Amino acid sequence: MPFSLEGHVAIVTGSSAGLGKVIALTLGKAGAKVAVNYFNNDARAERVFAEFKEANIPSALVKADVVSEEGVDHLFRETEAKLGKPQYRFSRA
C-alpha cells in the first residue's frame, strides 16, 4: 500500500457487496479498522466479514439501515463501541 491508515476507523456503508466492499477492503489493507455495514442480507454479510477476518483486518460487522437518522446513529455507536471513534462525521445540515 502506498499510504497508511493505521490508527484510523473507517465506516463504509453498504460494504457487504460491490464497490462498498472493495473500498472497505482497500481501507482495511491500508491499516484502517473497518465497520462492515449491511442491512438486508445476513448470510452474505457474514461471508464478507469472514474475508476481513481472514485478511487480518480489524473489523466489526454492523447491521444498520442508513436511510434513517436513527440507523446512522446506531452505525456510529456500534462502530465506536467495537473499533473506536471515527475521526470525522458528516451530517445533514
Domains of the chain by residue range: 9-83
Residue 90 has a pLDDT of: 55
| 9-83 to CATH, choices 3.30.470.30, 3.20.10.10, 3.40.50.150, 3.40.50.720 | 3.40.50.720
CB 65 within 8 A of CB 39: yes
In the chain, % of residues over pLDDT 90: 87
pLDDT digits (tens, 9 = 90+) for 20-53: 999 999 999 999 999 999 999 999 999 999 999 9
Residue 74 has a pLDDT of: 97
Residue 89 has a pLDDT of: 54
pLDDT at 7 over 70: yes
